[in-house]
Amino acid sequence: MRSSPVVAALVVLAAQSVLAAEPLTRSCSTGFEANDLLVTFADSSKASAAVAMVGNPAANADFFARLQRPTSARLLLDNFVSFTYDFSPLVDTAEVASGITGDPVLAALGVRRASPDLYGCFPEPPPSGRVDVTEYHNVLLDHYFLSSSAGENAAIDSGAAGPGWVRTGETFATYPSDACSGGLPVFRFYGAGPNSHFFTVDASECGAVHNHDPGWQFEGVAFGAFMPVNGACAAPLRPLYRLYNNRFAANDSNHRYVVSIDLYDAMIARGWVGEGVAMCLPQVAQ
């Protein structure tokens, strides 16, 4: 899919959020308040010193860098500090926390343990609002694409994404990403070479695409979904299947995502490779 003004804006926003100083993690983030880390210090004086350091990073640049450059810090109780970061969704803060915990220099400075700050994440009903996802097909490229915003739909319908894009009539509804309710982010990538998009809810798969295939540009979180368990979705979740056109050798890779098992089987009969259940969708009230 050629980048529309809406898609181009998403790319710019994503690029701005991925700071050069960001740590490179194997997985992408799935956590609630993913930009907060809770760090335990040996005593209150070391915790207070860390909070003061964030306000004046030049006072101890190495300490600041090893803590992964927090944007703010606040003291909780006596020796607990909550650090906030400006990470993009590509950064798995659980991995960052593990690195901080295992850093011997930080240990000498009083750091005892770091973990994602999950305070406030309690069981709750599904998130408010809904996301309506619309499928498009390019009759010239034989590529499929999912749009999850009315603005992007309007741009594609007006021809801003290039010629050949038509609605297939296939749609599905889901919720925004909300890890407190179990809904994980669906990461969206664009590959300029094959002129195609890729969507995944799998944090490890997201990390592999981001770290090992520079041809794919992260565009942001498209919508929320759930991870399948052993290739299936537990009721009342429903499966979203993924198919692959198997045209990597021609630099023409494209995936299609469908909710209909009949359509899934029909695409396989056309020669597409069935990749099974890619993610699970909630039952959304009409």
Whether residue 130 is found in the same domain as residue 109: no
Whether residue 249 is found in the same domain as residue 184: yes
Whether residue 112 is found in the same domain as residue 135: no
Instruction: Give the integer Cα–Cα distance in Å for 244 and 257.
Output: 9
Cα separation values, 158 from 11, 150, 151, 269, Å: 20, 12, 11, 32
CATH number for the domain spanning 46: value is: 3.30.70
Name the residue range of residue 62's domain.
Answer: 33-116
Whether residue 162 is found in the same domain as residue 222: yes
The last residue of a domain, from among 63, 93, 116: 116
Whether residue 267 is found in the same domain as residue 187: yes
pLDDT < 70: residue spans in the chain: 1-21, 32-34, 118-128, 179, 286
pLDDT of residue 33: 54
Q: Is residue 255 part of a domain?
A: yes
124 closest CA partner among 161, 175, 192: 175
Contact present, 114 and 39 (Cβ < 8 Å): yes
206 closest CA partner among 36, 22, 26: 26
Q: Is residue 286 part of a domain?
A: no
Q: Is residue 24 part of a domain?
A: no
* 61's tokens: 């640049």
Predicted model pTM: 0.85
Kind plus residue range of the DSSP H or E element containing 185: strand 184-191
Q: Is residue 106 part of a domain?
A: yes
Whether residue 51 is found in the same domain as residue 132: no
Q: Is residue 21 part of a domain?
A: no
Whether residue 191 is found in the same domain as residue 236: yes
Whether residue 87 is found in the same domain as residue 225: no
The last residue of a domain, from among 116, 149, 181: 116
Whether residue 37 is found in the same domain as residue 82: yes
pLDDT of residue 140: 97
192 closest CA partner among 207, 213, 206, 173: 213
- Encode pLDDT of 27-41 as tens digits: 998 875 558 899 999
- Encode pLDDT of 231-250 as tens digits: 999 999 999 999 999 999 99
Q: Is residue 185 part of a domain?
A: yes
pLDDT of residue 14: 37
Whether residue 222 is found in the same domain as residue 241: yes
Q: Is residue 19 part of a domain?
A: no
The last residue of a domain, from among 93, 116, 139: 116
Alpha carbon 180 to chain centroid, angstroms: 15
pLDDT of residue 8: 35
Q: Is residue 264 part of a domain?
A: yes
Whether residue 275 is found in the same domain as residue 247: yes
pLDDT of residue 284: 87
Q: How many domains does the chain have?
A: 2
pLDDT of residue 30: 83
Whether residue 165 is found in the same domain as residue 109: no
Instruction: Give the integer Cα–Cα distance in Å for 216 and 161.
Output: 18
Cα separation values, 94 from 82, 115, 255, 275, 280, Å: 14, 6, 30, 28, 23
pLDDT of residue 47: 96
